[in-house]
Structure 1
Amino acid sequence: MKQSLSLRMSQHLALTPQLQQSIRLLQISTLELSQEVEQMLDENPFLERSAEESMAEEFGLPEADTRVSLGDRVTEAATEARDNSNEASAETTATVATDEAVQDVAESWEGDGSADVAPDDSEWGNDASSRKTSDSDAPDAIDLARGLGSFTEFLHRQALSLRLSEVDRAALRYLIESLNDDGYLEDSLESLAQSLAGTDDLEQLEELVHRFTVALSLLQSLEPVGVGARGLAECLRLQIKAQLQEDPDHRIWQTALKICAQPLELLAKRDVKRLLVLCGEDDVSIKAAITLIARLEPKPARPFANAEQHVIIPDVLVTNTRPNGEPRFKVQLNPDVMPRLRVHDIYANALRGGKSEAHQGLQQRLQEARWFIKNIQQRFDTILRVSTAIVERQKSFFVHGELAMRPLVLREIADELGLHESTISRVTTAKYMTTPMGTFELKYFFGSGLGTDSGSAASSTAVRALIRQLVAAESPTKPLSDNQLSEMLKEQGIDCARRTVAKYREALKIAPANLRKTL
């Protein structure tokens, strides 16, 4: 085989470290961004948080080339917002909004997004200040949840009131710590005993199982009723037995106890005919017992769930600047999610003029700090551009609600902003927008279209809202089937097949017609 040299030319795409970081920061959520910032602050000595809290009346991103594509809409919105800011205080509120708090956010947010910030080593994000609303003393869901304490603490406090031996108290404490978030004991008593004693000493293993059996009966006597159950059926039985202790002669609760002794699939399907045979009760008692069982709590630890885990911090705030006239919506970034970072001036000045190898390594870390600040700034700039385009396209939704949602795909926003569809997908994932209608993920505003008799398209989001509306208005004794819902949509000019209706109904977590029927 003869060796030879050849010269070829080819094209390939290479992602620089700066571009890779920019893509990664763009697609992560707000919580992940906060973790990324903390890690960068620990690793890079040239990066620091800004020590000053600016109280400027305006906040915005630099006038980069990327904002030019928004055209006159951005200019008009900025002008409108600047006029409004002269009449009101510019200290802003970034409320972590549940749907009930959206209106408070709309009334207290006053930033206008018109100030310029130079994209250099200076601090970035400092001009976004926040303040609490005047009604900050009012209790919210998080405060109420904290007032209950944790679920295990609540059980431990009850256990202290019991007169137990040290061994039984330790066994009860171990079972309490073994409960899952719903209040169930998922592991068997034998597996818990083996985890402590192993499998060699059978005598000690039997002793531990006995202690855990006693402790389990004590645990299931505590509040809330149903705690310590090994499954849903046992949880329901514990609650029914508690009702029977108050009224032993209550026939319906006795029937309910018989139903819970049967396979739960029959209860879930409301198979009254088979339950009649298995329980030996009449039709009226079975139906009444099923109604009572439906009122029981399937998750005893639900009231103690950490409310903070369900709080969504919005990245974008949308408010109506003309509530009494023609709606005009203002799109603003949430200042509370924007890290205030800058390059350490003293360290940066100390490196000027250095040419040694050590200085070259530090120069690289300095450049990384500058890239990081620039990429974060570009991340929020892109989120603002995409959010502004979404609000412009879905203006009817912000005025009339879900039924007015328009069909929208990623390609439309990408073509308008001159970005790639993958970029729009990254921006709209795990990013949230607080609006007068509630708090939504940016992906919520995108949906396919269904054909109509008029030749236009109806958004799938609007169709789902219409299905929910039709189900809410149905007769409890004669619920609408998927086929009936499909026919009703066709009467309104929307061509939606039965299978599509079933898919949308399941997405809305609406039970089938046979399970919605009132017995």
Structure 2
Amino acid sequence: MALGPRLDLRQSQSLVMTPQLQQAIKLLALSNLEVETFIGETLEANPLLDVGGEPAASASETVDVPEEARRTTLEESPVDRLIGEGRGEDDRPLDIDASALDRDRDTGEWSADLRLGGGEELPAIEERGRGEATLVEHLEAQVGAATGDPLLAGIARYLIGQLDEAGYLPVALAEIAEDLAVDPAEAEAALAIVHSLDPTGVGARTLSECIALQAREADRLDPLMARLIDNLDLLARGELARLKRICGVDDEDFADMLSELRGYDPKPGLRFGGEPSAAVTPDILVTPRSDGGWNVAVNQASLPRLIVNRSYYVELKGTCADKGSRAWLSEKLADANWLIKALDQRQKTILKVASELVKQQEGFFSGGISQLRPLTLRTVAEAIGMHESTVSRVTSNKYLSCPRGTYELKFFFTSGVAATGGEGASAEAVKAAIRRLVDAEDPKAILSDDALVDLLKDKGFELARRTVAKYREAIGLGSSVQRRRQKAIAAVR
């Protein structure tokens, strides 16, 4: 066979993710607040996009509609199907003619409006306020009045900057003195200034020092209380008899000392916020209906309604004399139409997934966390005819508001454990059952993990002892020994 160059024609299929399709899929994973930021940047870059006026009707769906209606397919254009299914292929460029510029793709109107919001009004951002002062700001505002020595004031401000969020000083004072090249006595004097600031207890290096500062401020640091504070480790281990002998007090005085000790704050710095936390804005609103069903709606208060500015387009078109300007204008119009289409499809996809979630977890909305079912992405994806990756994107960084509170969509996807009588139980439901059992246990008859296994089995949960221990630790409950000590301390008053 002769070797040489030649031309061959071959037909093959390939999967190509265009920039527009990548953008549409990326929008699925963004929260409403992130999409709002994205829209703001796009409005600045595209003069043909504008924010519409009156809102459209709220996009909503009920969860008890017939299966055929609930699984209605998305718009039948190839691009819409790709966005909805989370797949990609090389879509054709938009072919825009003069007649198409006078009507909307669906309604026959010029402006295809997208209303991504409608529900209760959220407070404006300027009404939310800056939030409370941070611990550092609160302390630094007091330094000037606490000392007139500029050197000590400077060292004190440096110490304040080293405090952790609880108000403790995690760095050795000798290291700070060495770093600042000051005398250790000056560092001690500056630390004493920090100790004098409000809230009392900040700047402490240990828990005992923190409590002692507060007891001294309350004029209660007598020798007996000092012994108690110096032996907090015995209190943590529940060695009450030994601690009472060290303090040299009777049962009544010891109970009074413990009661007083509980009145002190072990983490005084936590009274003040750090960076102001952003309020969670729900993306989905779930409300009960009078017939026992549920209305599921996209929160339309968090995103603007986008339209194409027809008058500005006509004005710009009249000034486009060269081919490059006309091409730029056509590109901006195509980008605007694509963004409206992508956001519209995002809204439909979120609503579809949320409606299925509410249907699958209807027991939770009606009966609480004990009725939460185990659920996977695949179950939801198969029910609505989408890919698992699409469902995963939709449920990322999004929150659902219902009468029981606001929950991240990921909350409704939980692992399952075996249960008697058929369907498995959610791990969250098991944790809630364990917490109820522990809260109701008799302080004189603390439940062991084996006892919890038996009680949970009576409630229909089939769990091994190590699984119960894992769930118990996950919700912050100690072992039976630790709980016995804690409840014995709580009983001494």
- State the TM-score bracket (shorter-chain normalisation): 0.7 to 0.9
2:182 corresponding residue in structure 1: 206
* Distance across 1 between alignment mates of 2:21 and 2:3: 42
Query: Residues 109-163 of structure 1: CA distance to partner in whole angstroms, max 9, x if unpaired?
Result: xxxxxxx988974442287375479xx9xxx9x78x94x5443343234334334
* Distance across 1 between alignment mates of 2:458 and 2:231: 42
Q: Report whether the alignment pairs 1:491 with 2:448.
A: no
* Distance across 1 between alignment mates of 2:375 and 2:137: 48
* Distance across 2 between alignment mates of 1:434 and 1:216: 47
Pick from 35, 55, 63 the counterpart of residue 37 of structure 2: 35
Q: CA deviation at 1:73?
A: 5.7
2:231 corresponding residue in structure 1: 259
Q: Report whether the alignment pairs 1:343 with 2:308.
A: yes
2:191 corresponding residue in structure 1: 216
Query: Residues 375-424 of structure 1: CA distance to partner in whole angstroms, max 9, x if unpaired?
Result: 22222221111111111222222111111222322222111211111111
Query: Residues 204-232 of structure 1: CA distance to partner in whole angstroms, max 9, x if unpaired?
Result: x135x554432221111111122123455
Q: 1:29 to 1:477 in 2, by over 3 A?
A: farther
* Distance across 1 between alignment mates of 2:55 and 2:35: 24
* Distance across 1 between alignment mates of 2:226 and 2:405: 44
1:105 corresponding residue in structure 2: none
Paired residue secondary structure (1:439):
strand
Q: 1:374 to 1:154 in 2, by over 3 A?
A: same
Q: Report whether the alignment pairs 1:503 with 2:470.
A: yes
Which range moved further: 311-320 or 231-240? 231-240
Query: Residues 299-328 of structure 1: CA distance to partner in whole angstroms, max 9, x if unpaired?
Result: 322222269516321111111122xxx522
Pick from 22, 32, 42 the counterpart of residue 20 of structure 1: 22
Native 8 Å contact 1:414 1:420 kept in 2: yes
Unaligned runs of 5+ in 2: 73-105, 489-493
Native 8 Å contact 1:61 1:117 kept in 2: no
* Distance across 2 between alignment mates of 1:327 and 1:369: 41
Native 8 Å contact 2:117 2:302 kept in 1: no
Native 8 Å contact 2:121 2:301 kept in 1: no
Paired residue secondary structure (1:337):
coil
1:235 corresponding residue in structure 2: 210
AA matched with 1:258:
D
Give the superposed CA RMSD: 4.0
Q: 1:7 to 1:174 in 2, by over 3 A?
A: same
Query: Residues 411-447 of structure 1: CA distance to partner in whole angstroms, max 9, x if unpaired?
Result: 2211121111111112112211111111111121222
* Distance across 2 between alignment mates of 1:508 and 1:120: 55
Native 8 Å contact 1:70 1:417 kept in 2: no
Unaligned runs of 5+ in 1: 63-67, 76-115, 198-204
1:103 corresponding residue in structure 2: none
Native 8 Å contact 2:395 2:409 kept in 1: yes
Native 8 Å contact 1:69 1:416 kept in 2: no
* Distance across 2 between alignment mates of 1:118 and 1:181: 58
* Distance across 1 between alignment mates of 2:277 and 2:206: 25
Native 8 Å contact 1:61 1:381 kept in 2: no
Paired residue secondary structure (1:335):
coil
* Distance across 2 between alignment mates of 1:3 and 1:479: 87
AA matched with 1:158:
Q
Paired residue secondary structure (2:182):
helix
Q: Report whether the alignment pairs 1:128 with 2:112.
A: no
Q: 1:391 to 1:23 in 2, by over 3 A?
A: same
Q: 1:478 to 1:385 in 2, by over 3 A?
A: same
1:154 corresponding residue in structure 2: 138
Paired residue secondary structure (1:364):
helix
1:181 corresponding residue in structure 2: 165
Structure with bigger RCO (C-alpha 8 Å, 6+ apart): 2
2:86 corresponding residue in structure 1: none
Q: CA deviation at 1:514?
A: 2.4
Native 8 Å contact 1:48 1:342 kept in 2: yes
Native 8 Å contact 2:117 2:301 kept in 1: no
2:58 corresponding residue in structure 1: 59
Pick from 399, 420, 424 the counterpart of residue 457 of structure 1: 424
Q: Report whether the alignment pairs 1:309 with 2:285.
A: no
Q: CA deviation at 1:279?
A: 6.4
Native 8 Å contact 1:256 1:286 kept in 2: no
* Distance across 2 between alignment mates of 1:278 and 1:224: 32
2:405 corresponding residue in structure 1: 438
Q: 1:132 to 1:398 in 2, by over 3 A?
A: same
* Distance across 2 between alignment mates of 1:120 and 1:238: 71
Q: Percent identity?
A: 34
Q: CA deviation at 1:3?
A: 5.8
2:85 corresponding residue in structure 1: none
Give the count of matched residue pairs. 443
* Distance across 1 between alignment mates of 2:39 and 2:354: 23
Native 8 Å contact 1:318 1:435 kept in 2: yes
AA matched with 2:389:
S
Q: 1:319 to 1:224 in 2, by over 3 A?
A: same
Q: CA deviation at 1:358?
A: 4.0
* Distance across 1 between alignment mates of 2:307 and 2:176: 52
Q: CA deviation at 1:23?
A: 1.7
Native 8 Å contact 1:276 1:286 kept in 2: no
Which range moved further: 396-405 or 285-294? 285-294
* Distance across 2 between alignment mates of 1:274 and 1:7: 92
Report the TM-score when normalising by structure 2: 0.76
* Distance across 1 between alignment mates of 2:250 and 2:346: 62
Equivalent residue runs for 1:365-514 within 5 Å? 365-514=332-481
* Distance across 2 between alignment mates of 1:59 and 1:39: 25
Native 8 Å contact 2:228 2:243 kept in 1: no
AA matched with 1:257:
I
Q: CA deviation at 1:241?
A: 4.3
Native 8 Å contact 1:327 1:399 kept in 2: no
Q: 1:288 to 1:366 in 2, by over 3 A?
A: farther
